[in-house]
Structure 1
Amino acid sequence: MADTVTNQVRSRIMSRVRNKDTKAEVALRKALHAMGFRYRLNRRGLPGTPDLVFPRLGAILFVHGCFWHRHSGCRRATTPSSNVEFWAEKFTRNVTRDARNIADLRALGWRVGVVWECEVLGDSPDRLLPRIATFLRGDDQELQSAKAHDPVAGRR
């Protein structure tokens, strides 16, 4: 299926896709700040430029968009029907890069958690915040998602 808009329009649309300060990220930051957690944003010196870095706690949180990072079983992780090969390759690169960045951060001694957009903006963020607080205050090496996550299975 051919794209229904011109290259200029598509470029303008894609330029508006945010890579920081997304609704999910801002909502999570406000909630965590209200709980007394202090963090640094988008630390460029670290692999993957993590969304939230908690230096005193030795922890990092990524706030992943379900579409771009392929949240398994999530209704937001759809695959566009046009240019399917491009999107499949793009999503594979994203998932591979995410795994590499998390492994690199762990090798540097960081504890790494991934929070999904649908968990923050969904119907039950009240269950998410206690899990994040437990992760940040504890010594667990990773934050377990409430929903099963298999990046490859997220493709439709």
Structure 2
Amino acid sequence: MSRQASQDTTPELAVRRLLYASGHRYRLHRPVPGLPRRTIDIAFPGLKIAVFLDGCFWHGCPQHATHPKANADWWRQKLNRNITRDLETTERLRTDGWTVLRFWEHEAPSDVAERVATAVADARRPHHS
């Protein structure tokens, strides 16, 4: 498990390259306020946009998640805790006024970057009450 990259994964790097190439500037691995040891993969702090690129195995992708046979109960509990933690993190950020965007590692980086860019553009647009 310790060899598994938790940040700077291949999908994350691909999305970051596309965002940067299109002129977007962001912060990496920003702490989630009030939740120790949790970080936002790609953050736009001024706009309060948090982007997470979740691994299919570790975060329970409905399409691709697998369940190890060896030590099955331990793994089920571990992976369920990850899913619960993701929900808590999303809820905490939304309560604090953040827009939370979550993507699976299998999603095309160009699609992810496009959706993030759209959210950034929407957040920058003046809102009239």
- TM-score of the two chains, using structure 2 as the length reference: 0.85
Do the aligned partners of residues 101 and 45 (structure 1) sit closer, same or farther apart at CA in structure 2, a change above 3 Å counting? closer
Within 5 Å, which residues of 2 pair with 1:56-135?
56-74=46-64, 77-120=65-108, 125-135=109-119
More strand by share: 2
Give the structure with higher Rg (CA).
1
What are the Cα deviations for residues 42-91 of structure 1, in whole angstroms up to 9, with x where unaligned?
A: 112534310011023220101100110011122xx111111110111011
Q: Secondary structure at the match of 2:40?
A: coil
Q: TM-score, with normalisation over the residues of structure 1? A: 0.71
Output the amino acid matched with 1:26.
L
Change beyond 3 A, Cα 1:116–1:56: same
Do the aligned residues in 2 keep the contact of 1:62 with 1:114 (CA within 8 Å)? yes
CA contact (8 A) 1:39 1:53 kept: yes
In structure 2, stretches of 5+ residues that fail to align are 124-129
Cα offsets for 1:5-36 (capped at 9, x unmatched): xxxxxxxxx22111111111111111111111
Alpha-carbon distance in 2 for matches of 1:106, 1:133: 19
Structure 1 unaligned spans of 5+: 1-13, 140-156
Higher helix share: 1
CA displacement at 1:132 relative to structure 2: 2.3
Distance (Å, rounded) in 2 between the aligned partners of 1:54 and 1:126: 18
The answer to whether structure 1 residue 53 and structure 2 residue 43 are counterparts is yes
Q: 1:132 to 1:44 in 2, by over 3 A?
A: closer
Matches within 5 A, 1:31-50: 31-46=18-33, 47=35, 48-50=38-40
